[in-house]
Structure 1
Amino acid sequence: MSEAYFIKEQAGQGPAAPTFVLLHGTGGDENQFFNLGRQLLPQARLVAIRGDVSEGGALRYFRRTGEGVYDMDDLAARTEKMAGFLAGLASEGPLIGLGYSNGANILASVMMAHPELFEAAVLMHPLIPWKPEPVEGLAERRVLITAGRRDPICPAPLTQALGDWFTGQGATAEIAWHEGGHEIVQSELAAIAGFVERYRDG
């Protein structure tokens, strides 16, 4: 499996600037969160990664066989591919991730397999439909999960279980809920802005 991805990138302001990795949802592309990343962390190095799996023409980061039913072998292989790519982005500054839906799922999977990579991560409407095994190395990590209490794709109990799992591994984890579904709303964007505020000055 090739280690290459198509990316959209913006250089950071100085060698110690954070690297902000942006991962789109199913059907999105590298442009989906690029402007948001620029607004949130204008001085950061931005790396928006295009998914390399097509589901009926909709881009994703790993295969599935149905809604909420993942091809676990493919997920494992593509988690390693993503981790290898991200390791190559290493710089003096912290690595921060932001993913939505399928992008949040691959981001969470990478954190479970390689907890050393990210200092902080924003998981927007993730769905991890299995119980992860305990992981060492997440104690110094920060995680923000954003979610809708009525999300038909990512049920609230599974979202809460994921947040509790991260907390159980020693990560500083919080969930920003809104009362809607799978859509992104202003209140969660405000929560994300507050979460990444500490990295704005590089």
Structure 2
Amino acid sequence: MTETPATPAHPWPHVFEPGDPGTPVLLLLHGTGGSEHDLLPLAPRLSPGAGILSPRGPVSENGMNRWFRRLREGVFDTADVVARAGELAGFLGWAREAYGLGDRPVAAVGFSNGANIALATALLHPGELDRVVAFSGMYPLDAHPVDTDLAGTRVALFNGAEDPMAPQDSVERLTAVLQSHGADVERATHPGGHGITADDVTAAALWIGRAGVVR
């Protein structure tokens, strides 16, 4: 595993591993309070041999790493979400050039806050990110307009039916917005709350193998 610290080329600390030829690159996006190392153990379970690109969220909330600011629990600073989604799209564009990824498929895998920034980026910048596995994610853009064409975008949503941090009405809205703009959406709901279950991982691995690497 190659860990790349902050450099003048890009200020986000991140981990990059090229993986095996012919595999996708998994863009791993941690949850609140996590780091670029949190989701690394998940990668081989989702796509053995895949490349790994795992950055650290650039926002600090009381010392916890996040991807964007929030006003309070469950209430996002939408303007910051939009700005940070642009930054993540820029990071991905930078990584494609810096690491010679070319048109190699990239699938974002995010948990909680990481899922939300992945979803926001896919909604606003589908040219940079059009494959998302979102664990415990929700609709991240509130009233901000979405006018992108998401035909060709594929999203897999894994949520808990009793998750107070990602309520089902927000997941329903997310699904409706994605589909109304042409995205292909698959959903799986487990009976628990906020988290990633073993069944979620198994289903996500099948989804990546089926949809995440095919353009």
Q: Give the structure-1-normalised TM-score.
A: 0.90
> Alignment identity in percent?
34
Q: Report the number of matched residues.
A: 199
Per the TM alignment, residue 193 of structure 1 is displaced from its structure 2 partner at its CA by 1.2
| Residue matched to 2:107 | 96
Contact 1:4 1:85 (8 Å CA) reproduced:
no
Find the residue that maps to 2:95 and give its secondary structure: coil
- Whichever residue aligns with residue 58 of structure 1, its letter is M
- Whichever residue aligns with residue 135 of structure 2, its letter is M
Contact 1:116 1:137 (8 Å CA) reproduced:
no
Contact 2:150 2:183 (8 Å CA) reproduced:
yes
Tell whether 2:113 aligns with 1:105.
no
| Residue matched to 1:188 | 200
Tell whether 2:188 aligns with 1:176.
yes
| Residue matched to 1:64 | 70
CA-based RMSD of the aligned residues comes to 2.0
Unaligned runs of 5+ in 1: none
- In the TM superposition, what are the counterparts of 1:37-186 in structure 2 within 5 Å? 37-90=43-96, 91-128=102-139, 130-131=142-143, 133-186=145-198
| Residue matched to 2:17 | 10
Per the TM alignment, residue 180 of structure 1 is displaced from its structure 2 partner at its CA by 0.7
Find the residue that maps to 1:187 and give its secondary structure: helix
Per the TM alignment, residue 50 of structure 1 is displaced from its structure 2 partner at its CA by 0.8
Change (3 A) 1:76 1:148: same
Supply the distance in 1 between the matched residues of 2:17 and 2:45 (Cα, whole angstroms).
13
Contact 2:133 2:156 (8 Å CA) reproduced:
yes
Supply the distance in 2 between the matched residues of 1:19 and 1:187 (Cα, whole angstroms).
22
Contact 2:107 2:213 (8 Å CA) reproduced:
no
Change (3 A) 1:132 1:189: farther
| Moved beyond 6 Å, runs of 4+ | none
Find the residue that maps to 1:22 and give its secondary structure: strand
Supply the distance in 2 between the matched residues of 1:182 and 1:24 (Cα, whole angstroms).
14
Per the TM alignment, residue 51 of structure 1 is displaced from its structure 2 partner at its CA by 0.9
Find the residue that maps to 1:89 and give its secondary structure: helix
Q: Give the structure-2-normalised TM-score.
A: 0.85
Supply the distance in 1 between the matched residues of 2:81 and 2:213 (Cα, whole angstroms).
32
Find the residue that maps to 2:110 and give its secondary structure: strand
- Whichever residue aligns with residue 110 of structure 2, its letter is G
| Residue matched to 2:37 | 31
Unaligned runs of 5+ in 2: 1-8, 97-101
- Whichever residue aligns with residue 44 of structure 1, its letter is A
Encode CA deviations 1:22-49: one digit per residue, 9 max, x unaligned: 0000011111111211222222210111
